[in-house]
Structure 1
Amino acid sequence: MLKDRNHSLSEHEAAVFLPCLIEKSGHSIANVRAKMRELMKKITCSHPAASLFPYILEGLHSKDNRTRTECVDLIAYIMDHHGEEV
């Protein structure tokens, strides 16, 4: 995993990668949503949580209700586990 190798996601990588991941976090297949949720939680360990917030907040404006729900859940997770960073 990236964290084990002391690698973090750069801002440029995050700008390319995160909007797509956040939009797909509301996928109609529950198993895909669960995997996306797990991946997003792992990303919070390799990228500053404060830098994730603009992307997550953008996901709150999605037309897909599942995406909005996943974004709210991810915000709650970040506040519980990385609250001091935000």
Structure 2
Amino acid sequence: MRQMFNARSGAGAEEPRFYSVEQVAGLFGVSAMTLYRAIGNHEFPAIRIRGRLIVPAKAIDAMVEAALERNTAVDATEFATGAAA
């Protein structure tokens, strides 16, 4: 997942630890408002720093790995609540 963002920012770029909501929304093909709503409903993992929300890269990586390991769709809610298997 991180390689997708790194390919855009240059070959020597350091792997990001966090993504903006807009970056993740674009990557997942949903609107930023949809993702903000999911975060507000505790259905998607994020960190709030004052008024800004950021998404940990590790959370995205964990979702991708779980989907690949299970060979099925995963529910982001289980990663937001810390119930990931």
TM-score band by shorter chain is: under 0.3
The TM-score with structure 1 as length reference comes to 0.28
Which has the larger Rg?
2
Which is bigger in relative contact order (C-alpha 8 A, separation at least 6)? Answer: 1
Q: Higher helix fraction: Structure 1 or Structure 2?
A: 1
